[in-house]
Amino acid sequence: MALRLHNTLSRKTEELTPLDPTNVRMYVCGPTVYDYAHIGNARPVVLFDVLFRLLRQTYGESHVTYARNITDVDDKIIVAARAANEPIGSITERTTRAYHEDMGALGALSPTVEPRATQHIGEMIALTEGLIAKGHAYFNEQHVLFNVPSMPAYGRLARRDRDEQIAGARVEVAPYKKDPADFVLWKPSAADEPGWDSPWGRGRPGWHLECSAMSEKHLGASFDIHGGGIDLVFPHHENEIAQSTCAHGPDTFAKVWMHNGHLMVEGEKMSKSLGNFYTVHDLLAEYPGEAIRLLLLKTHYRQPLDFTKAGLAEAKQELDRWYGALRRANGSGSADADTKVIAALQDDLNTPLAIAALHEIASEMNRSGIGADQLRAGGAVLGLLQADPEAWFKWQPAGAGGGLSDADIATAIQNRLDARTAKNFAEADRIRKELSDAGIVLEDGPGGTSWRRG
Which DSSP symbol is given to 139? Answer: E
Cα-Cα end-to-end distance for the chain: 41
Output the DSSP codes for 203-251: EEE-HHHHHHHHHHHHH-SEEEEEEEEGGGIIIIIHHHHHHHHHHH-TT
Residues 282-301: pLDDT tens digits? Answer: 999 999 999 999 999 999 99
Residues 181-232: pLDDT tens digits? Answer: 999 999 999 999 999 999 999 999 999 999 999 999 999 999 999 999 999 9
Cα-to-chain-centroid distance, residue 195: 30
pLDDT for 133 equals: 98
Beta strands (DSSP E) in 10-135 are 12-15, 24-28, 64-68
Q: What does pTM read for this prediction?
A: 0.90
Q: How many CA atoms lie within 13 A of 420 on its CB side?
A: 14
Which DSSP symbol is given to 68? Answer: E
The torsion defined by the Cα of 211, 303, 10 and 146, in degrees rounded to 10, comes to -30
Over 60: is that where the pLDDT of 333 sits?
no
84 or 402, greater pLDDT: 84
Residue 434's pLDDT band (cuts 50, 70, 90): confident
Task: Lay out the sheet containing 137-140: strands in order across.
Answer: 137-140, 143-146, 183-188, 203-205
